[in-house]
Amino acid sequence: MFSTLLLLFHTYLSPTAADIVADAAALMAFRTAVGRLALPWNTSVSFCKWPGVICTGDRVTSLHLPASGLIGQIPAGTLGNLSDLQTLSLRFNALSSPLPSDLSRCTQLRNLYLHGNRFSGDIPEFLPSLTALVHLNLADNSFSGEIPLALNNLTRLGTLYLERNQLIGRIPELDLPNLIQFNVSFNRLNGSVPSKLRGMPADAFLDMPLCGEPLSACPGGDSSGRSKLSGGAIAGIAIGSLAVFLIVFGVLFLLCRRKGKTGDAKPFEVEVALGDKKMKNGFRADGKPAKAAAAVAPAALESQKQLVFFGDGHRVFDLGDLLRASAEVLGKGTFGTAYKVMLEMGIVVAVKRLQDVNMSPEEFSKKIEAIGAMDHPNLVPLLAYYFSKNEKLLVYAYMPMGSLSSILHGNRGSGRSPLNWEIRTSIALAAARGIEHIHSTSLTASHGNIKSSNVLLASSSEVRVADHCLAHLAGNSIVSDRFAGYRAPEVTDTQKVSQKADVYSFGVLLLELITGKAPAQAILNEGGVDLPRWVQSVIHEEWMTEVFDMELLRYQNGEEEMVQMLQLGVDCTAQIPDQRPTMSAVVVRIDEIRQASLLANKEQHQQQALAFDVDD
């Protein structure tokens, strides 16, 4: 099966002895030419152990030499001979043109980072022949001449960074279907923004006399291809627009109605039966504060049931306060709907209204007491509960930043601050610790419903796991669609999720964090992918960097740690439960990976500072 990534790579390639010797010779020739003084490569150890060199089998597949004091021209017959090279990172050095054209022999090259050097002249003609390229960064050099239209050959390109060069002329009609990151700011380009690049942010085109979306409209209309419209054409457009509007409106209307049927968007009222009296109150679904309802009869409140608080909990509010408060729907989960409830005294809590609970009050309170007793900095605290025949409410602390799912998958693209590697690893660690704590309470204790929408954040440093152990309260084993992508293959009864099955779900969550992709059905009405299978298939094809979330690849230092984290996700999602690690082992490994990347980051900064000192 999928033991380790490295093992996979080893068996995939079987290099010949001649290639191995050739790679060593090529690296030495490279060092002689540009890094004689800078590269501390010890020829008495295997070149695969040299700093910056990563081998797969015995062939060089990555060369990472950022800010390493390299200077001068790279001759032909050096890097071009590393025919298995996939990643070449030479950023922040003092390398100059020309780039050797035999780099075109590196047909596996996916990542080429040359930013922050002294390259000049035309963008090399051989670049469009490197059709495996995914990330190309030529920023902060002195490239001049025009941007070649032939870059359209690079159909896999996801990143094209050309900012801070001396490029001139118009931007060609680039049509790169996978392009996500693009920047040509601070060049000397003019003319209009090509149609396929109009979705890019305005700051991808800074400081140049360009026009057209996303910048200001082109004057006169000839550069944007607009011309005067006849009256007939205008009428046609108007009718067309009206039709489109009507269609869109119709679709929206239908969607809303369908949602309404499933109870999602309907204004909502909680009905709490107290004794034989029924109380309705103002929990509203539309986000607007509900009017404080006057319908609450205090006598009814006192007559019977009350909120049961946990611990020595400050009972600053009671059931009446809760029902009087305004509320909005946070989401419909596996076990019921959650509301954000704003109490009049300024306290905000999350209230979960459980569905399908069929057990005696004694049984319920026994189980809920066990959940309430789980006190850990990485679990959402259960503050209180209410139990009656018709209504079961759980009162939790409110987590203002929402769920990992919404942070990770919500409003991608514009106006979003990306989740960096450091935050992602700290979220992973916190969630793992919360789950580890649940597992530590008894041999059979499990969370039962681990998914990214159950990992909540109060701030970027306060991460807590929610909904723990509610599966044990559910009356019938409802199989939630939204849990489907996280469910271990052996789980048939969602009430009986083992600790090993929790580890599987957590593994999927890790893969989600690293790839930025949602597991199957995790997002309502959207497909998503079978993450464990997808990751494994991509690993097979050796498209390592394509696995990672684009947002992470801005931080090019951490690739090794990302691979380790990916490996952990793969281990956790082993098909056979006994092959999965325990949650405690998972915590230890995440902690190690995190420490390593914090350290690497620090060294990187120091190294970079050093390189700039030498240069300037």
Ligand X SMILES: *[C@@H]1O[C@H](CO)[C@@H](O)[C@H](O)[C@H]1NC(C)=O
365 belongs to the binding site for ligand X (CB under 6 A)? no
32 belongs to the binding site for ligand X (CB under 6 A)? no
Q: Which amino acid is at 89?
A: S
Asked whether 334 and 469 are in contact (CB, 8 A), the reply is: no
414 belongs to the binding site for ligand X (CB under 6 A)? no
- Judged by CB under 6 A, which stretch of 22-30, 237-245, 287-295, 419-427 contacts ligand X? 22-30
Q: In the complex, what is the shortest distance from the CB of residue 201 to ligand X, in angstroms, rounded to a whole number?
A: 5
Give the HSE-up count for residue 454: Cα atoms under 13 Å, Cβ half-sphere: 29
- Judged by CB under 6 A, which stretch of 84-92, 199-207, 277-285, 335-343 contacts ligand X? 199-207
152 belongs to the binding site for ligand X (CB under 6 A)? no
Nearer to ligand X, 155 or 262 (CB): 155
Q: In the complex, what is the shortest distance from the CB of residue 329 to ligand X, in angstroms, rounded to a whole number?
A: 35
Asked whether 209 and 231 are in contact (CB, 8 A), the reply is: no
- List 201, 275, 400, 410, residue binding ligand X (CB under 6 A): 201
Find all residues with CB under 8 Å of 398, minimum gap 6, and list them.
Answer: 340, 348, 349, 350
Q: Which residue, 339, 343, 331, is CA-closest to 396?
A: 339
278 is in an annotated binding site: no
Q: In the complex, what is the shortest distance from the CB of residue 128 to ligand X, in angstroms, rounded to a whole number?
A: 4
Q: Which amino acid is at 420?
A: N
The number of beta carbons lying within 10 Å of the beta carbon of residue 374 is: 18
Enumerate the H helices of 35-150 as residue ranges.
none
129 belongs to the binding site for ligand X (CB under 6 A)? yes
Nearer to ligand X, 26 or 272 (CB): 26
Reading phi first (left if > 0) and then psi (alpha if -120 to 50, else beta), residue 136 is in beta
Q: In the complex, what is the shortest distance from the CB of residue 62 to ligand X, in angstroms, rounded to a whole number?
A: 19
Q: In the complex, what is the shortest distance from the CB of residue 25 to ligand X, in angstroms, rounded to a whole number?
A: 4
Angle between helices 559-572 and 5-12 (to 10 degrees): 100
222 belongs to the binding site for ligand X (CB under 6 A)? no
Nearer to ligand X, 186 or 548 (CB): 186
Cα–Cα distances (Å) from 356 to 66, 366, 391, 472, in that order, read 58, 17, 10, 12
* Residues within window 40-99 making contact with ligand X, judged by CB under 6 A: 42, 44-45, 77, 81
Q: Which residue, 416, 442, 502, 415, is CA-closest to 467?
A: 502
359 belongs to the binding site for ligand X (CB under 6 A)? no
Secondary structure letter of residue 321 according to DSSP: H
Asked whether 88 and 65 are in contact (CB, 8 A), the reply is: no
Enumerate the H helices of 345-494 as residue ranges.
361-372, 404-409, 421-441
- Judged by CB under 6 A, which stretch of 202-210, 271-279, 280-288, 376-384 contacts ligand X? 202-210
Q: What angle do CA 470, 472, 477 make, to 5 degrees?
A: 100
149 belongs to the binding site for ligand X (CB under 6 A)? no
- Judged by CB under 6 A, which stretch of 111-119, 197-205, 562-570, 599-607 contacts ligand X? 197-205
Residue carrying structure tokens 């609450």: 296
- Judged by CB under 6 A, which stretch of 123-131, 360-368, 394-402, 596-604 contacts ligand X? 123-131
Distance in angstroms (rounded) separating the CA atoms of residues 612 and 616: 6
216 belongs to the binding site for ligand X (CB under 6 A)? no
Nearer to ligand X, 164 or 580 (CB): 164
Nearer to ligand X, 171 or 508 (CB): 171
Which residues form the interface with ligand X (CB under 6 A)? 22, 25-26, 29, 42, 44-45, 77, 81, 128-129, 131, 150, 153, 163-164, 168-169, 183, 185-186, 190, 201, 203-204, 206
Residues annotated in the binding site, as ranges?
Answer: 352
* Binding site per annotation, positions for ATP: 352
